[in-house]
Amino acid sequence: MSQTIEERLYTIRYKADDKSHLIITDHNVCENCRDKPCNHFCPSDVYLWHDVERMTSVAYENCIECGTCRLACPYYNIEWVYPKGGYGITYRYG
Ligand code: SF4
Ligand code: SF4
């Protein structure tokens, strides 16, 4: 039987750095980004637009390093690098 995405994500271990490896380059660009697709395409719900603060928050600790946001932000407004050595995700097999 195939696993759900939640079951698959459960097999991942995170070690979060104290500094984000994902940076929103310009929050003003997000303001004018109509559909804010990052709020939907990220499988780990890293990005969330806040209407009151007028900004996109980045829960980088949850990132599974799939790389989607590098390409899928229509304004290339997300700076993406791999986490520093020793941080980020490891996959558990079996
Ligand atoms: S998709 Fe890009 S520009 Fe649009 S809200 Fe997200 S980070 Fe900002
Ligand atoms: S690399 Fe993937 S999991 Fe990480 S923030 Fe981007 S879309 Fe989300």
Residue located nearest, by CA, to atom 4 of ligand 2:
63
Q: Tokens 């690098």 belong to which residue?
A: 81
Atom of ligand 2 nearest to the CA of 70: 6
Q: Where exactly are the structural domains of the chain?
A: 5-88
Residue 17 CA to ligand 1 center (angstroms) comes to 23
Q: What's the chain's average pLDDT? A: 88
Q: Residue 6: pLDDT band by 50, 70, 90 thresholds?
A: low
CA neighbor of 36 nearest in space, from 69, 83, 62, 8: 69
C-alpha span between 68 and 21 (Å, rounded): 14
pTM above 0.75, yes or no: yes
CATH class label, 5-88: alpha beta
pLDDT at 9 over 70: no
